[in-house]
Chain A
Amino acid sequence: MGVTILQQYPVPENKTGTFVIDLLTKRLLALGATQQGQFLVDCESYLSLPQMGPTKTVHVLHNSEQPASVFSILESGSKNIHVVADSLFDLLMMKLSNIYTSKKQTKMESKGTRLELGDFCVKLGSVTMNQSFKGVLIEVEYRPCVMANAVWGLLREFLQGLLGPSVPVQPPQHFLSRMNEIYTPIDTIYQYLEHFSAFRKSTGLRSAV
């Protein structure tokens, strides 16, 4: 497990998501990448009952890269608290369904092809909310390093080369305070949640970063 950066790729007008993903896949294959299966990251959010006071949201995420884990992030005001649990956590959320109700219509998914290129692992995800297409997310992982600070320059260069100069590459919000800490799978999950929340808020396709 290395450092991962998640980047949105704006879908150009009058182009489809499939077109963008095909284009990026071709670029990667031309560089010598090999296809290594598929991936899936999903997120379901549960809201507390209004009688409980200020609304709290429990986001439950799964990542096919860590198939035995469930990642849960509780959003309460400006605070985010996370727990990494084993797969029965999903059953616990069902048991608490009288207090925390699932917002099924905002269920998000990012899925697609997983490619490997030397030390990099690239995932081209097409993002859907409740089955409707919302945009494209690109995940790039540099596997030999676990410190964001040491590898951010390399990741930016790689992404810039892959996506072209029209897409600005910025360090994700979540990274800023954690540049010198050891990267763990929950850091990837925070980045997905950040993007999923932005996708939920946008109507139609999300264009700007």
Chain B
Amino acid sequence: MAANAPPMTATDSLSQAVKANIIHNQEYLLQGSVLDSAVEVLLHRLRGLCDNVDAGPETFDDQEVCFILRDPNQQALPSMLRVRKALDARDMPYQLRYIGQADGEKNRPTVLRSVLDIACSGMLFEFLNELGCRIEYEYSVKGYMFRKGRMKITVAKVFKIPQSSMAPEPISQSYLVELSVLAPTGQDAIGEDMRAFADQLRPLVQLDKIDYKRLSHMAVT
């Protein structure tokens, strides 16, 4: 009788999910930016192109803390872990995100990197600190989210975390625009769809692959 069968171990059910390739662990990503003065036009265009027209775009206001976990043997590249906390919905769980290295394939239309998104509650910051992670930097990000099928488009402003109760100070005079899809391994066709969508926004914002290797050599202030 199924009801009396011993429950499957969590490890077994997870490895089944891995085998069936249903875990969304790959992120296809394009990024760009738009000046503050032009953002209204872009938002208007996105409202016309995206799915959630009736309700209008969803807003978000998140704080993100970026951690790094170094391999003491220095054989592997450091692991990047990011924690996101919604400032406008404080009872929501933390979002812990593991970000792997981008694959670096030149012919691919988008950046492709492995990603794990994990909802967490509890003492996550203390946990990561004790685990050996170090905070690299933190910022808050506030803006709008749109959807187009499986694609997620965010237009958001990045702020420095204020030291006291002052208003957060924007990092630049522009908005960060990201177009991303989380998908299981091997769904490369989505990259083409994203390119096609990015082309429709082309006159307003140029969404592109950002070469992280080049950025990592620049000093972060």
B interface footprint on A111-141 (CB within 8 Å = 1, 0 otherwise): 1000000000000000000000000000000
A170 within 8 A of B: no
With beta carbons under 8 angstroms apart, the residue of B75, B118, B131 that contacts A74 is: B131
- Kindly list chain A residues whose C-beta atoms are within 8 Å of the C-beta of B75: 98
CB-CB < 8 A to B4: which residues of A?
35, 37-38
Q: What B residues does A186 contact at CB under 8 A?
A: 122
Residue of A nearest to B131 (CB): A74
Q: Is the CB of B124 within 8 A of A83?
A: yes
Residue from A49, A72, A95 within 8 A of B72 (CB atoms): A49
Q: Which residues of B contact A52 (CB under 8 A)?
A: 72, 132
Instruction: Decide if B73 is an interface residue (CB 8 Å cutoff).
Output: yes
> Within 8 Å CB of A31, what residues of B?
none
CA distance in complex: A86, B11 (Å): 13
Q: Is B79 an interface residue (CB 8 A)?
A: yes
Is B5 in contact with chain A by the CB < 8 A criterion? yes
Q: What separation, in Å, do the CA atoms of A96 and B98 have in the docked complex?
A: 10
The majority secondary structure among interface residues of chain A is strand
Q: What is the bound-complex CA distance between A122 and B134, given in angstroms? A: 43
Measured CA separation A42–B11 after assembly (Å):
10
| Interface 0/1 of A151-167, CB less than 8 Å to B | 00000000000000000
Classify chain B: how many residues form its interface, as a range.
35 or more
Q: A122: shortest Cβ distance to chain B, in Å?
A: 16
Q: Which of A4-12, A62-70, A175-183, A200-208 contacts B (4 or more CB under 8 A)?
A: A62-70
- How many angstroms from the CA of A51 to the CA of B14 in the assembled complex? 31
How many Å from the CB of A45 to the closest CB on chain B? Answer: 14
Instruction: Return the CB mask of B108-129 against A: 1 if under 8 Å, else 0.
Output: 0000000011111111101100
Contact with B along A28-60 (1 / 0, CB 8 A): 000000010111101010001101100010100
**A87 proximity list for chain B (CB < 8 A):** 10, 13-14
In chain A, what residue has the closest Cβ to B124? Answer: A83
CA distance A76 to B18 in the complex (A): 31
- The answer to the question of B166 belonging to the interface, with a C-beta cut-off of 8 Å to chain A, is no
A111, closest chain B residue (CB)? B6
B76 touching A91, Cβ below 8 Å: no
Q: Does A195 contact B (CB under 8 A)?
A: no
How far is it, in angstroms, between the C-alpha of A84 and the C-alpha of B118 when the chains are bound?
A: 10
| B7 in contact with A95 (CB, 8 Å) | no
With a cutoff of 8 Å between Cβ atoms, the chain B residues found around residue A72 in the complex are 127
Q: Does B96 contact A (CB under 8 A)?
A: yes
List 20 additional contacts besides A38-B4, A89-B118; criterion CB under 8 Å.
A37-B4, A37-B7, A38-B7, A48-B132, A49-B72, A52-B72, A72-B127, A74-B131, A83-B123, A84-B121, A86-B118, A89-B120, A91-B25, A91-B116, A95-B98, A99-B72, A99-B132, A111-B6, A111-B7, A186-B122
By Cβ-Cβ distance, the 6 closest A-B pairs, closest first, are A51-B72, A62-B10, A64-B7, A83-B122, A85-B120, A76-B130
Q: Could you list which residues of chain B lie within 8 angstroms of chain A, going by C-beta atoms?
A: 3-7, 9-11, 13-14, 18, 23, 25, 69, 71-73, 75-76, 79, 96, 98, 100, 116-124, 126-127, 130-132
